[in-house]
Amino acid sequence: MPYVKVWIHFVWSTKRRIPFMKTREMRQTIFNHIRENAKEKGIYIDFINGYTDHVHCLVSLGIDQSMSKIMQLIKGESAFWINKNKICDEKLEWQDEYFAVSVSESMVNQVREYIKKQEEHHQKRTFAQEYEEFIAKFGFEQFKDR
């Protein structure tokens, strides 16, 4: 049996960065559901949090999992569930694109702390500013679907 530990920090936003997830309670309901659904699908979410218009998720990839499949399962099912259960005032859609960066074992705790402090972090900096920092820091091309 192979032993694999590959950490990925995923970030995705709502379509057009609309702040659908307005309250802390709403976000926790959504994040709890994403975690439970992921667990049912064999996806290990170590930590999940976000703010009104985006989600951060630290995932340990399984031996037969791809980043694109994980995002498809998490984003697709969660949007369906959120809308079916009328969690948000309007129909929530996730942006098609997402960020995914590898995390070394030595940085896992720092990434957890960063994800944990999203609400506090976004009192000082918008997701648009964070987005630009990710683009610059990791050398990504800007997303077409804002």
Q: What is the pLDDT of residues 66-80, one digit of tens each?
A: 999 999 999 999 999
Within a domain: 61: yes
User: Residue 107 maps to which CATH number?
Assistant: 3.30.70.1290
Instruction: State the Cα–Cα distance between residues 30 and 87, nearest whole angstrom.
Output: 8
Within a domain: 144: no
Within a domain: 1: no
Grouping H, G, I as helix, E, B as strand and the rest as coil, residue 83 is helix
Total count of residues recorded for the chain: 146
Within a domain: 48: yes
Within a domain: 24: yes
Q: What is the pLDDT of residues 5-51, one digit of tens each?
A: 899 999 999 999 999 999 999 999 999 999 999 999 999 999 999 99
pLDDT grade for 3, boundaries at 50, 70 and 90: confident
The count of other CB atoms within 10 Å of the CB of residue 106 is 7
- Helical axes 24-40 vs 67-84, angle rounded to 10°: 130
pLDDT of 121 over the 90 cut: no
Within a domain: 145: no
Domain containing residue 11: 6-138
Within a domain: 49: yes
Number of domains observed in the structure of the chain: 1
